[in-house]
Amino acid sequence: MANLTYRLVTSFFLLFLCVFATAQKSDSSDYQGEVNLLQVLQTLRQQQIIDSLERKNLREELNKIKVKTDEDKLNLKKHEEELELVKEQQSKQFKERVDSIRANSKGYAVAPFNDTLFYVYAKLGSTLPIDRAFNVKNRIQKLADDDLAKVDSFKIEKNEISVDIVYNDLIITSVTDLDALFEGLSKDEVAEDYLKLIKDSVTQEREDSSIPKLLIRIGLVVGILLLFFLFIKLLLRLKGRLITKVVTEQERRLKDIKIRNYVIVSSAQKVQVLKQVFRLLYWAIVLLVAFLMLPVIFSIFPFTQGWANQLISLITKPLNKTFSAVIAYIPDLITALVILFVMRYLIRFVKYIFAEIDRGNLEISGFHQEFAMPTFTIVRFLLYAFTMVLIFPYLPGANSDVFKGVSVFIGVLFSLGSSSAISNIVAGLVITYMRPFRIGDRITIADKTGIVLEKTALVTRLRTIKNEEITIPNSSILTGNTVNYSTFSEQGICFQVEVAVGYEEPWTKIQEILLAIPSRLERVKTDPPPFVLQKKLDDFYVLYELNVYISKSGEIDLARSEIYQEILNDFSREDIELNAPHLYAGMDFVPQYKAKQM
């Protein structure tokens, strides 16, 4: 019993301190609204805890009393009544304090449809009361404008901090302990009142303005489309006038761009370019205005507002992503540009060195002059490859799996489809350093004879005496024999003419006739002197070979033709028959060539 009395006295003392503190604070001049609310709320919570503990203790004591005297029971009931009296006094003072704070605090009206539904006095986290009221008003207006939003779906959800009024996943407003204090009710009661007010206002707004709003929205859409149509007509007319003006001013202002007498860009070409520019600008403006107009039209109707956001995101998201990627790539781009700059001037320096060797200004022992440019081509290729290796890690998406897969795919295609090309390239390199011929040399490759026009990494091109261009793969040149007529052309090129004569003619006479022919021809050299060989003793004839020298390899065929002409004339004059493998002496009935009598 003494323990119970001690707890009651302590409780009364604490209650008295709380009431006294509240009364003293009400007289403070610097007591601000929100701080006061928080302190009042803390006091209320503390008092509620104390009251609940005391009532619990009292009930436990009453339940324990079984065989107590009536006097003890009366004392306990008396203490309980005193506790209730103190509670009533505290609640009265607490209510007076809240009314005083509310009278001195500014509330912000939530009036989505002109009529005020309720006021917001307290902050919620870092959101000010004015912002809370504005946000709640906008949410209610959007839900009222949304024809698909059902009023019956508005509901209340409770959590530890507040009681929320929600629609699907959207929180319309939250009721906190401070909001409940200003209303003088519990959070649940305030939330129920707010929910009813919101439902009634949305329902009433839809009933009062659904048809006018629909007509207004339709009118807005029609007006926007009409403005767009007028804008397109005006833009089209402006484009036509600009094109007409350009055509009329063609001769006076759009003059030809010339360098001396050569016309780089004519006035007609300028007109065509300007016409294309005007057309591109026209369509660009039309598409831009249409893109800006469609989201506005979609945003007029509530059920199409999502389409507007999606339409805008289709353009803005890729643009934002591209812009962010470009900004992030700038450091790598600068690095790649520096590498390209350095390698470019390194290649120029190497080209200058090899050009000096090619011109003969710079000599390197063991390195021939004609090696200069082919070697530069190889070095340049290696430098380009090295540059690509350096730049590759800095290319956009170089580390992505797609980029790597494409690189491998291209490498496989190149390796499978370029085997013959690579063999020709290797053969071209070998031919370059073997030096079997040079540009301008007259050569014979297999049965093709001509002057070398061009040597590339893959092929060699010849021009024949008939002005035919022959392209020969380098691999074929490397695997065959090459005859070069130009290497020792200054000393004279020896070529042969064969004649078959029967055994009845003395060989000394044949040699004398043949050796007399070269001296009569201007194309043929007499130094070194010509000579005759008996190459073959056949069954029916002797094969003679006349060897003569010529300086110009390109005239061998012409010189051979002239020698044959002289042979025919001389042998006809001496009545000497010419035999072939399928003819033999004694065939008098075979008509012979007779020179015309001049």
Q: Please name the amino acid found at residue 399.
A: N
Q: Has residue 251 been placed in a domain?
A: no
Residue 96: inside a domain, yes or no? yes
* 59 shares its domain with 90: yes
Q: How confident is the model at residue 106 (pLDDT cuts 50, 70, 90)?
A: confident
Cis peptide before 528 (omega within 30 of 0): yes
Domain boundary among 225, 256, 290: 225
Kindly state whether residues 214 and 115 are assigned to the same domain.
yes
Give the whole-angstrom CA distance, residue 447 versus residue 434.
21
219 burial (CB, 10 Å; 0-12 / 13-18 / 19+) is: exposed
Residues 176 and 209 in one domain: yes
What was the pLDDT predicted at 180? Answer: 81
Same domain, 478 and 559: no
Same structural domain, 149 and 212? yes
- What range defines the domain where residue 493 resides? 489-573
Residues 458 and 535 in one domain: no
Query: In CATH, what number is assigned to the domain containing residue 437?
Result: 2.30.30.60
Alpha-carbon dihedral sign for residues 154, 158, 159, 164: positive
Tell whether 587 is covered by a domain: no
Pick from 225, 247, 278: which residue ends a domain? 225
Closest CA to 174 of 187, 166, 164, 160: 164
Q: Are 116 and 109 in contact (CB under 8 A)?
A: yes
Assess if residue 388 is contained within a domain.
Answer: no
Range in 107-111, 349-353, 415-419, 549-553 with the lowest mean pLDDT: 415-419
- Tens digit of pLDDT for each residue in 428-477? 777 777 778 888 888 888 788 888 888 887 888 998 888 888 888 888 88
Task: Based on the fold, state whether residues 38 and 114 are members of the same structural domain.
Answer: no
CA-wise closest residue to 513 among 501, 527, 525, 526: 501
Residue 143 belongs to a domain: yes
Q: What is the pLDDT of residue 547?
A: 92
CA distance 255 to 267: 5
Q: Is residue 410 part of a domain?
A: no
Q: Mean pLDDT over all residues of the chain?
A: 77
More confident residue, 224 or 308: 224
Examine the domain organization and report whether 86 and 129 are in the same domain: no
Tell me how many domains the chain contains: 4
| Positive or negative: CA dihedral 391, 395, 398, 402 | negative
- Whether residue 412 is contained in a domain is answered as no
Please check whether residues 92 and 162 belong to one and the same domain.
no
pLDDT of residue 9: 42
Same domain? 494 vs 552 = yes
Are 91 and 112 members of one domain? no
- Across the range 359-385, mean pLDDT stands at 82
Query: Average pLDDT, stretch 360-376?
Result: 80
The answer to the question of residue 507 being in a domain is yes
Please tell me which residue, 235 or 591, carries the higher pLDDT value: 235
pTM for this entry: 0.42
Q: What is the pLDDT of residues 75-88, one digit of tens each?
A: 767 766 776 676 66
Residue from 420, 217, 423 nearest 304 by CA: 217
CATH code at 506? Answer: 3.30.70.100
Residues 459 and 499 in one domain: no
State how far the Cα of 563 lies from the Cα of 579, in Å rounded to an integer. 17
Give the mean model confidence (pLDDT) for residues 128-136. Answer: 89
- Select the highest-mean-pLDDT range: 39-48, 79-88, 181-190: 181-190
